[in-house]
Amino acid sequence: MLVSGKNILIDAKKKKYAVGAFNVVNDVMIRASVDAAVELQSPIILELAEIHFKHSDFELIAKEVATIAKRVEIPVVLHLDHCKDFNNFIKAIKFGFTSFMYDGSSLPYEQNVKMTKQVADIAHSLGYSVEGEIGHVGEGIEYDMLQTSKLFTTPEDASKFAKETGIDFMAIAFGSAHGIYKSKPSLDINLLKKINNVVDIPLVLHGGSGLTDDDFKNCIKNGICKINYFTELSLFAKHAIRVLLNDNDNIVGYPEILDASYKVIKERVKNRILLFGSYGMA
């Protein structure tokens, strides 16, 4: 069933687990992720990032997720990730998305608040949920702890931003980064604790690929309720395809490539669900 993100993340916060938010770009990733969640009876968040529009048909992805969600009894959230274009937010509503992230983290604070609140007010009037970001989660390929720390979320800004925007959950910067890390990430768990102590809404970790299992456990223990995860899914699929082609180059066609991708993505999503503690919570 297709649902908004707010209620499942409130439950995650209450029971101290996290829900995996898996970015998808095609039907293979959608089916693999949902099938994994169904097997483990876990809620799941499927995301389409604005940056991935070049790889996917915005409207068709939404229709496919909605169709699959109707077939299953677990909660499925369709979330627009890192939306910076207000027009895409409006389109996402029309296409059937149930949750939205407005990413104004690169904007001046006042403008970030203004735009995020506008999105939240519209979404809430329709019964949908909204994620905002304060601080800035950068790119792993540019990862430098000294520079990254300058963009960390402060407890004061987190508390103020949550109150002024009315968002349902909040992405914060405390040491993670998007994509592949060029150096070992270092999370400021003490900062996460401080932020969790001054806000009442669920917190979101962006840049889940490349972190250790212990990193995830520490994050969940200290307030992270939603974990964005894409890069490693993509890398696992690439590796599976490479192995398949190297071993069976003469007999492999496109359907076999899709099958290999489906299998490895499903297993990785199941692995993350078990780690995040959301199994049996549907």
Tell me the pLDDT tens digit for each residue of 179-197.
454 556 678 999 999 999 9
CA torsion through residues 79, 7, 227, 263, sign:
negative
Give pLDDT < 50 ranges for the chain: 139-147, 179, 181
Cα dist. 15→10, 72, 195, 276, 279 in Å?
Answer: 9, 23, 18, 12, 12
Tell me the pLDDT tens digit for each residue of 96-134.
999 999 999 889 999 999 999 999 999 999 999 999 999
On whether the CB atoms of residues 24 and 48 are closer than 8 A, the answer is: yes
Helix (H), strand (E), coil (C) string for 152-187: CCCHHHHHHHHHHHCCCEEEECCCCCECCCCCCCCC
Q: Name the residue with tokens 């904007």.
A: 107
Phi, psi for residue 81 in degrees, rounded to 5: -100, 135
How many Å is the maximal CA-CA distance in the chain?
Answer: 60
Task: Tell me the sheet residues that pair with 169.
Answer: 131
Q: What pLDDT does 164 receive? A: 98
Cα dist. 252→28, 75, 257 in Å?
Answer: 17, 36, 7
Task: Give the Cα separation of 147 and 151 in Å (integer).
Answer: 8
The catalytic residue among 57, 81, 213, 214 is: 81
Q: What pLDDT does 173 receive? A: 87
Q: What pLDDT does 51 receive? A: 87
- Which two three-digit tokens encode residue 86? 């207000």
Is 213 part of the annotated catalytic residue set?
no
CA torsion through residues 49, 51, 55, 56, sign:
positive
